[in-house]
Structure 1
Amino acid sequence: MGTNVCETLQISSPSFSAGDNIPKKHTCDGEDINPALEIGDLPEETKSLVLIVNDPDAPNGNWVHWLVWDVPPIHFIQENSSPGTVGMNDFGYINYAGPCPSLGTHRYFFRVYALDIDLNLSSGSNKEQVYLQMENHIIGTGQLMGLYSH
């Protein structure tokens, strides 16, 4: 996306391991709350974080479940929290919407981007607006992938 040197962030969750099933609690079949995330190896120049949770296996393509920006450069995102400014997900809501696949097992990517700026976008902005503002400001990125099926 950007032209900056991009470092690898370490993303993990106390709720599930990479490649494992996401607990029901974090899905539409449970409490529908975001899992806690641990973030390691943030670049020193990090001004803010962007968090995007998406499902590339959705029938309509890359479906965004959660979009958050201007998260301070923290190493832990609490379960059931709004750590920054929340944007419009692809369901048309300004909140976390957990995994809820129509058919089969889907992959869900929890991606964190370290930026050298704050985005200062209004709450409810969409993914296109966020991606546009992030361009050329990504200095680190990492992801955690989990699986879910009903």
Structure 2
Amino acid sequence: MHPVEALFVPLGRAMRKRRPDEALSLANAPELRTSGRITLTSHAFADGGVIPAKHCGALIGTSTSPALDWSALPDGTVDLLLVFEDLDVPAAVPGLHTVVAFPPTGGLVEGALRADDPRFRFLPLRLGIGRYVGPRPLPGHGTHRYRFHLYALDTRIDLTALSSAAELPGTLAGHVLASGTLLGTRTT
């Protein structure tokens, strides 16, 4: 453990029981429900497995996005939306780490999600910056579950038109053809 992390352990332990209501996850928004399914996988970790350090944030790793693969996309897919969230952040709602839209592909190689790559359109979240932000649980808080969501859309989404992530469900209503999730964990 990095010496700076040790300073936050008492706070993390004090907040161990504070977890958001998972029902408030973006994945549970009625506007995003669909019967179409995508199988989302990573070579870096199994569903429910530990996310390797290099894919984590400050003082753990380098926030290098993991390689992601998915099953065949439905006909009519025009755009993909990838959402990465922390289901256990000590807050009222799950914490969004990354929201990014991009043209349909068969997968993403490790490190692909870079703000300087014009294929990727990020929704600015933390400090007004749009990029991949790796897992970084509060030290001492316990195990955090991190969920990647992938949505196949029948239209191109303009993330610059949104003022916040709260507008995503309304913007995507009626446009989700299929979805899939991948869960990873991290403990500090």
For residues 97 and 32 of structure 2, the distance between their equivalents in structure 1, rounded to whole angstroms, comes to 27
TM norm structure 1: 0.90
In the alignment, structure 1 residue 63 sits paired with structure 2 residue 95: yes
Q: Which runs of 4+ in 1 moved over 4 A?
A: none
Asked if 1:80 corresponds to 2:111, the answer is: yes
The alignment status of 1:46 with 2:82, answered yes or no, reads: no
Shift of 1:2: 3.3
- 1:7 is aligned, of 36, 41, 48, to 36
Structure 1 residue identity aligned to 2:172:
M
Q: What TM-score does the superposition give when structure 2 sets the normalisation length?
A: 0.73
Unaligned runs of at least 5 residues, structure 1? none
Q: 1:122 to 1:136 in 2, by over 3 A?
A: same
Equivalent residue for 2:137?
101
Aligned residue for 1:14, secondary structure, equals: coil
Higher helix share: 2
Q: Post-superposition shift, 1:90? A: 4.4
Unaligned runs of 5+ residues in structure 2 are 1-29, 114-118
Higher strand share: 1
- Cα 1:4/1:19, change in 2 over 3 Å: closer
Percent of aligned pairs with the same residue? 30
Offset, 1:130 = 2.8
Of structures 1 and 2, the larger Rg is shown by 2
1-structure distance, mates of 2:87, 2:159: 25
RMSD over aligned Cα, in angstroms?
2.0
For residue 179 of structure 2, what is the aligned residue in structure 1?
A: 141
Distance 2:144 2:171 in 1: 29
Structure 2 residue identity aligned to 1:11: L
